[in-house]
Structure 1
């Protein structure tokens, strides 16, 4: 997960940077209305879960992992012989990915990226549909990164939600990082946005309390319609 900015560029006391450093430090997403959501830091550093595996076996290479965090998914794909590149705006996240044998760039998805238009799969997992606070702009950018028959695999919230907000990372002592724009979507909201962008939902599934959709260009042969 990444905020779309570099949360670790401030002092090391920043809650997000501390969480990435230890892999165990609790960190929360504090929304503008006061709600606090605990982030699954332990999952970001662990081996892929069964829910993650349901994503990985749908990936055709080459794969671009947007907001890769410590890189568990792109590293797993590389281990299976599928080329995958992680992209994250947080230097500490990229350092973890590289240190564990992955390939990653410290860059925003909105910056110039390698092989634009040639990726077969782009991933927006762990809530990364929220990057930049504008899902329309993010999906428009990501669909331009994949081939004409390429797909986006997107994780959404388990409930019907559609909100844009300003958020901060916060630790258990209520120390907060800098604010950044964020968004939260459920499957119905993602479907509405996909329709606006002339994208088709070609697959949708749940694993436990996690929900995923695959999007492709309308009329492409990128997958089955659900």
Structure 2
């Protein structure tokens, strides 16, 4: 599907993209003719500011679970849009193999098993991203990228020292020179270099 955009009035009183999408994914449709009953409810959803992830449960007319799948929506949210269309979204489910693979663990944990190849690939990519983001790097750690990173001054470097500046992470060269910034650091592939520790020599008093 393409993008659907709307004004605040069209959002039906919902103040945020998350509230609107939660409501859209919660419904019951009675059986009509050859069309069976359809029920859907959101078990858990997370909205990051540009992407919405939800674990949505499909159930039957008795309220019994059929399966839980992931629904992903790309979101555009601009309350000050000049044309009044402040909200837009593009929805897809995991069977479509979305490119966006930053689904939180709390949503992934609720999904039921699937055999769909695109959904399986998407879930693998999400767990790989989680593994990258959940790495712990400490002040003073030396990290090494697979390939040198090129910066605006033309320099290229592969190894960086981690320095904590309050809540910020600052990168320097291994010897402490320079200050570098690498966007989305924890989503990138790098290794933590295990440096040999030099024991201090102790000279007892004569």
Q: TM-score, normalised by structure 2?
A: 0.24
Which structure's relative contact order is higher, taking Cα pairs within 8 Å and 6+ residues apart?
A: 1
Higher relative strand content? 2
Q: TM-score, normalised by structure 1?
A: 0.23
Which entry has the higher C-alpha Rg, 1 or 2? 2
